[in-house]
Structure 1
Amino acid sequence: MQWTCPIRVGAERHPESQALTFGGRRWTYRELDEGVGRWVAALQSRGVKAGDRVGLLATSHAAVVHLFFALGRLGGVLAPLNARLTRAELQPLVEDVAPRFTLALGALAERLPGAVPLESFADAARASPDSTPLEPNTPRVILFTSGTTGRPKGAVLTEGNFRASARGSEGNLGAHPGPRWLGTLPLFHVGGLAMLTRTAYDGGCLVLRERFEAEDTNRAIDEEGVTHASFVATTLERVLEARKDRRVPSTFRLALIGGGPVPAPLLARARAAGILALQTYGLTEACSQVTTEHPEESDGRTAGRPLPGMEVRIVSPEGEALGPGREGDIEVRGPTVMAGYLNRPEATRETVRDGWLRTKDMGMLDERGRLTVLSRRTDLIVRGGENIYPAELEAVLASHPAVQEAAVVGVPDARWGEVPVAFVAMRGGASLPEDLGAWCRESLAGFKVPARFLSIEALPRNAMGKLERTVLRQRALST
């Protein structure tokens, strides 16, 4: 099986349809195809050929889109680096990638010594028609995991991974003639790249933004015909706050919500504003989404069923497959699972066994095959032999009318081994109410109630909106 660059396909089938917008500029498929051709020529002038890697340090930018598809036409591999990392953090990642050369946006260049300026890279090039057929196992991207439990590992994702992810998402959400995805997730993370590839394969338009801003997001929804978006709970709430719960236009179809469970009151609030918010579960090693709620059966209670073509199972520590309602480790199998970790064969063998990706997350399936994510394995709290899942406590705290958001982490305890500590951000900057413990006891067993409640202005999150629990643990230990 071989594929042609989707931008070239779009230029042949619907050349005047919009493919990309960014910074006030718009590109049709014909224009983007011509632009990608110039980038192909610029890469060739640097000697890039099939299998070569190019490192990149950039926030989301139209140049990144051109680079991604140009590398695809040459069989090259993009290694986007997290734009929030320091120079010292970036150095070992570049060493792992061993790129032919690196590119960087001007504002970030000092962190990547020797990098070529991204913005002007293809300015003097003339379009090249060269295009290498893409195959399912063609590596396309190396994405480094967050590295919260050690040195980051580079997950190698293939063309087949991205196409399978797009097919699975469309199979779950339903086809849309010319979707317009709002791209506020960074293109150095899998969620942003999944939106980029999904829109290209579907013949849609990526409405790309450098970063998320609530007011700008609402303008895009109201004035730019955006049909789809991806949020986390905090950004969804900021969008609703900024628009004062005003209903979205009928052109807006749905929003995918990642980064963990969403409080039920927030989902209800989104529905009231006309936003169909679907919870998801995914990870870098599975090319973004693994499970997602179906639009016609979403209730906000689970992360939904596996996408078409994907399998999810729950296993015991001994590897036994568990039935519905049983808690255990989440494992994933299907065409979106990565090719492996770059230069880490042992880590690859440990993570992918017999085709099953061992996620190190914990969850359970219901009778309908829908997944509930209980915790990351490293987030599990064991108090006196009893398992405590932070997500359960966080959902109870988030349902308190005065609570903006909450996170729970475990800290060592001389008597119990470990106890939960809750960080709580209040609405309007109010002080912590005295009834939080009582509020928790109404819904939780006594051993699950946090030992302490600590006030915080806002929870620390990374560029993808994922909670940085390590930061909270350190703060809990020092408080």
Structure 2
Amino acid sequence: MKSLACPIREGAGLHPEAQALTFTGRSWSYRELDEEVGRWVAALETRGICEGQRVALLATNHVASVFLFWALGRLGALFAPLNARLTAAELAPLVEDVEPGLVLALEPLRDKLPRAEPLESFAGTATSGTCRALEEGSPRVVLFTSGTTGRPKGAVLTEGNFRASARASAANLGPHPAPRWLGTLPLFHVGGLSMLTRTAYEGGCLVLHERFDAEATNRAIDEDAVSHASLVATTLERVLDVRGGRRVPSTFRFALIGGGPVPVPLLERARAVGLVALQTYGLTESCSQAATEHPGEADGRTAGPALPGVEVRVVDAEGRPRGPGVEGDIQVRGPTVMAGYWRRPEATREALRDGWLHTKDLGVLDERGRLTVLSRRTDLIVRGGENVYPAEIEAVLVDHPAIAEAAVVGIPDARWGEVPVAFLVPRAGHAPPDGETLTAWCRRCLAGFKQPARFIWREALPRNAMGKLERQVLRRDASG
């Protein structure tokens, strides 16, 4: 199997003074980034971190996260970033599952992880020249994602996954001598890590922001020569609102839009100011994009065809391919598909069968092979690009002493795309708590984006003859 060198070390040799990274007004050339990564390698070696070990990180976007990611690659260790929006109760089982040799966190977040050491001051002045060559199958990241059961699973993404994803994206978007990707997506999401890696593989620059801000995004487009960005519909709309009709400069090429369908009027607004927005479909298990509109054929009606080198098909319940226009289950195959789930062999066998990733999403292909996603898993709620799993919220609600049953469904929302609504059955002998009480109960264990927008009490939940919950009835009632 081919050995793969660290792209930062390669870049330091090929174009040492080219800009590799910017963050909060400071920039690093490939030479400077290579040196900084060497200091992080030395600090990790001092702590005994070596091949195969995991390092867990709790952080919002920060330059130290970039240094840590590349340093772990030089040691053959795995990066396990955790969602900074989760509560301490949600984080604890993830850390237990990954069994890290080291836990780091930004200082403001350390109270969520009792074992965490401060990320900002971890590396010292000593440096190390250690730089392992990796193979395509070398694990690089354990990235937690939940299935429809709500139980977190760690998708293991390899060096080959990230490189294949970068190649496929570049082949679809077209050549660029040194792309400058705007990094507003969190580095604990696959989208953020994809931007981090593809800039390095292509000799480009990551323009990293701590968080999304519409005004800062527009400044990056106008003043920092950003060429590419990745957004969701809600953030695209905020960018356009701030622009106020000003056209984007010619240096800006494309914005990838994920996280669910994009309203056609919004795409038209974008194109009116010269911002080419390309819809995309992907998931953690496929290392971000699986299908994306081609720039020369984009019309905003689909998520586009499969990326070059990747296959996407739609099948029936028996796994037989569906023809154009016929709905079915979406499956993905290719070098971007994960190695499997961390220490979850049964879940891995369920997801990876016959060489295909079974996404459990529903979709349809047109006669040109372009994908339309109909449902992102049967019960999944996508709120502003964040996955919200009903089972996880339901488990918290039924722990309340006054609640006998709970069911959560998503309903359309103009701002967030979807929001969760909870239907509740009171426990005998208990008065139903009010909304404020329930919100406070959920806040103990659930991140803000998972909070139900409404609580609706019922005498009983609708079920079919087999006793299965009829969520479609609840969706209709919640939307009525």
The alignment's TM-score, normalised by the length of structure 2, stands at 0.81
Q: Contact 2:411–2:478 at 8 Å: present in 1 too?
A: no
Alignment of 1:307-346 (within 5 A): 307-346=307-346
Deviation at 1:324, TM superposition (A): 1.0
Against the structure 1 CA distance between its residues 472 and 325, is the aligned structure 2 distance closer, same or farther, given a 3 Å change threshold? farther
Q: Contact 2:182–2:226 at 8 Å: present in 1 too?
A: yes
Distance in 2 (alpha carbons) for counterparts of 1:349 and 1:107 = 39
- 1:284-304 alpha-carbon deviations (Å, 9 max, x no partner): 000000000000000001000
Against the structure 1 CA distance between its residues 469 and 90, is the aligned structure 2 distance closer, same or farther, given a 3 Å change threshold? closer
1:59 is aligned to 60
Deviation at 1:126, TM superposition (A): 1.4
Partner of 2:229: helix, strand, or coil? strand
Alignment of 1:23-422 (within 5 A): 23-122=24-123, 124-147=124-147, 149-379=149-379, 422=411
- 1:341-370 alpha-carbon deviations (Å, 9 max, x no partner): 011000000011011000010001111111
- 1:388-407 alpha-carbon deviations (Å, 9 max, x no partner): xx99xx9xxxxxxxxxxxxx
Deviation at 1:114, TM superposition (A): 1.6
What RMSD over aligned residues (CA atoms) do the two structures have, in Å? 2.5
2:352 partner letter:
V
Against the structure 1 CA distance between its residues 38 and 369, is the aligned structure 2 distance closer, same or farther, given a 3 Å change threshold? same
Q: Contact 2:148–2:379 at 8 Å: present in 1 too?
A: no
1:180 partner letter:
R
Q: Contact 2:73–2:140 at 8 Å: present in 1 too?
A: yes
Partner of 2:172: helix, strand, or coil? helix
2:109 partner letter:
L
2:178 partner letter:
G
Against the structure 1 CA distance between its residues 371 and 473, is the aligned structure 2 distance closer, same or farther, given a 3 Å change threshold? farther
Partner of 2:13: helix, strand, or coil? helix
Q: Contact 1:279–1:292 at 8 Å: present in 2 too?
A: yes
Against the structure 1 CA distance between its residues 24 and 329, is the aligned structure 2 distance closer, same or farther, given a 3 Å change threshold? same
2:54 partner letter:
R
Distance in 1 (alpha carbons) for counterparts of 2:455 and 2:175 = 45
Deviation at 1:174, TM superposition (A): 0.8
Deviation at 1:127, TM superposition (A): 1.4
2:80 partner letter:
A
Q: Contact 2:351–2:357 at 8 Å: present in 1 too?
A: yes
Deviation at 1:472, TM superposition (A): 5.5
Deviation at 1:307, TM superposition (A): 0.6
Against the structure 1 CA distance between its residues 469 and 71, is the aligned structure 2 distance closer, same or farther, given a 3 Å change threshold? closer
Partner of 1:378: helix, strand, or coil? coil
Deviation at 1:149, TM superposition (A): 2.7
2:452 is aligned to 471
Against the structure 1 CA distance between its residues 158 and 3, is the aligned structure 2 distance closer, same or farther, given a 3 Å change threshold? same
Against the structure 1 CA distance between its residues 275 and 426, is the aligned structure 2 distance closer, same or farther, given a 3 Å change threshold? closer
Partner of 2:4: helix, strand, or coil? coil
1:7 partner letter:
I
Indicate yes or no: 2:17 matched with 1:16.
Answer: yes
Show structure 2 runs of 5+ residues with no match: 384-389, 391-406, 417-447, 457-474
1:403 is aligned to none
Distance in 2 (alpha carbons) for counterparts of 1:283 and 1:157 = 12
2:399 is aligned to none
Partner of 1:15: helix, strand, or coil? coil
Q: Contact 1:226–1:252 at 8 Å: present in 2 too?
A: yes
Against the structure 1 CA distance between its residues 150 and 168, is the aligned structure 2 distance closer, same or farther, given a 3 Å change threshold? same
2:402 is aligned to none
**How many matched pairs?**
407
Percent identical pairs in the alignment equals 69
Q: Contact 2:43–2:122 at 8 Å: present in 1 too?
A: yes
1:299 partner letter:
D
Against the structure 1 CA distance between its residues 306 and 421, is the aligned structure 2 distance closer, same or farther, given a 3 Å change threshold? closer
Q: Contact 2:180–2:199 at 8 Å: present in 1 too?
A: yes
Distance in 1 (alpha carbons) for counterparts of 2:84 and 2:411 = 30
1:45 partner letter:
T
Partner of 1:78: helix, strand, or coil? strand
Deviation at 1:245, TM superposition (A): 1.9
Q: Contact 1:39–1:125 at 8 Å: present in 2 too?
A: no
Deviation at 1:426, TM superposition (A): 8.1
2:245 partner letter:
D
Deviation at 1:376, TM superposition (A): 2.2
Distance in 2 (alpha carbons) for counterparts of 1:268 and 1:86 = 38
Distance in 2 (alpha carbons) for counterparts of 1:75 and 1:19 = 22
Against the structure 1 CA distance between its residues 105 and 188, is the aligned structure 2 distance closer, same or farther, given a 3 Å change threshold? same
Deviation at 1:142, TM superposition (A): 0.4
Distance in 1 (alpha carbons) for counterparts of 2:372 and 2:478 = 32
Distance in 1 (alpha carbons) for counterparts of 2:21 and 2:351 = 36
Partner of 2:134: helix, strand, or coil? coil
Q: Contact 2:254–2:276 at 8 Å: present in 1 too?
A: yes
Deviation at 1:471, TM superposition (A): 3.4
Against the structure 1 CA distance between its residues 119 and 147, is the aligned structure 2 distance closer, same or farther, given a 3 Å change threshold? farther
Partner of 2:332: helix, strand, or coil? strand
Q: Contact 1:181–1:226 at 8 Å: present in 2 too?
A: yes
- 1:263-321 alpha-carbon deviations (Å, 9 max, x no partner): 11110110011100000000000000000000000000100010111001111112211
Against the structure 1 CA distance between its residues 148 and 105, is the aligned structure 2 distance closer, same or farther, given a 3 Å change threshold? farther
2:19 partner letter:
Q
Distance in 2 (alpha carbons) for counterparts of 1:473 and 1:336 = 38
